[in-house]
Chains A and B, each alone.
Chain A
Amino acid sequence: MSGLEVTTGWYLTLGAMLFLIGGTGLLLRRNPLIMLMCVELMLNGVNLSFIAFADRFGDVHGHTVVLFVLVVAAAEVVVGLGLVVAVLRASPRATADDLSALKG
């Protein structure tokens, strides 16, 4: 136990920081592409926490859950980019605020 040692808490702290940065960026930015990237940051923070706990407790189920998160992230990005393409084709400089036109 002498000296510095990387513990689970370090990974959890880093994951929480990634989640916070992503969430703050999601609230701050208006470019829909960058907002999607911020969602990816949040998902990566959560993935890091899952792997940290899986390593800490020697449980392989954390890895499986991360695989599912990856699949859901891929599907989310595909649908989100489809929406972005459809919107930006109509108006190349649209921000997320302009999407209030979709309210109907």
Chain B
Amino acid sequence: MVEVLVFAVAGAACLVGAIGVVLSRNPVHAALMLVMTLFGVAVLFVAQEAHFIAAVQVIVYAGAIVVLFLFVIMLLGVDRAAELSLGALPAQRWTAAAFGLGGAAVLVWMVAAVDRLYKGAHSYELEAAGAAAGDADAAATSYLTDVSAIARSLFSDYVYAFELTSLLLIVAVIGTVILARRSSGDDGPLDGTHGGDLQQAEGAPGTQEARR
């Protein structure tokens, strides 16, 4: 019963935070709602015996990524309320509605199908698989909670992918430094022939409002 309570509270925090990210007008509020979702997901990781992943989730996501978001928001001073209305693309709201409603329909159908599968005719294979998984659970729990098991998997089976992530991080760091650098001559990388477009939009708020 405790499990159900933990799932309900953490899942509700996740969903409220996610909807808050989508609907909040202020980017700072959206970032704080994102923290709520990330902590909810971390609690659900703990509930599934993934303690190391939960710690990494809190450290990397809430500790680094959201702080980076807030830092950029504060640095650029875009923390005022933004319009919630949609952009210039007319098909956009229909695309979003189709994605949301279609995805929700598929989700409901899948949940119903799995429910029927489990509750329907006595599928001995399913029961056998469940029993086997139950037996494996006792052995697997101690295996899963072991950080060394993750390390063994990471440094043996996935060692090439692990090395590639280091390359990815180096490329990301170099790319960000080049992108965000303000070179001495101009105001930034966008100051080409098309930069004037953006500057003009900045100078004339009416145009900007009309675009929204």
**B176 adjacent to A89 (CB under 8 Å):** no
Give complex CA distance A5, B110 in Å: 19
Max chain A C-beta neighbours (<10 A), residue from B14, B86, B211: B14
User: Which chain A residues in 35-57 approach chain B with CB under 8 Å?
Assistant: 36-38, 40-41, 44, 47-48, 51-52, 54-57
**B87 adjacent to A30 (CB under 8 Å):** yes
| Total inter-chain residue pairs, C-beta < 8 Å | 271
Which B residues lie within 8 Å of A54 (CB)? 48, 50, 144
Which B residues lie within 8 Å of A6 (CB)? 3-4, 7, 47
**A68 adjacent to B22 (CB under 8 Å):** no
Which A residues lie within 8 Å of B34 (CB)? 37, 40-41
Which B residues lie within 8 Å of A84 (CB)? 72, 76
Which B residues lie within 8 Å of A89 (CB)? 76, 182, 187-188
User: Which chain B residues in 46-96 approach chain A with CB under 8 Å?
Assistant: 47-50, 52-53, 56-57, 60-61, 64-65, 68-69, 72-73, 75-78, 82-83, 86-89, 92-93, 95-96
Interface SS, B side: helix
Q: Please pick, from A41, A73, A76, the residue contacting B37 in the complex, using a CB distance under 8 A.
A: A41
**A23 adjacent to B103 (CB under 8 Å):** yes
What are 6 A-B interface contacts by the 8 Å CB criterion? A13-B107, A23-B99, A41-B37, A67-B56, A92-B202, A93-B205
* Interface residue ranges, B against A (CB under 8 Å): 1, 3-4, 7, 11, 14-15, 18-19, 21-22, 27, 30-31, 34, 37-38, 41, 44-45, 47-50, 52-53, 56-57, 60-61, 64-65, 68-69, 72-73, 75-78, 82-83, 86-89, 92-93, 95-96, 99-100, 103-104, 107, 110-111, 114-115, 133, 136-137, 139-141, 143-144, 149-150, 153-154, 157-158, 161, 165, 168-169, 171-173, 175-177, 179-180, 182, 187-191, 194-195, 197-199, 201-202, 205, 208, 211-212
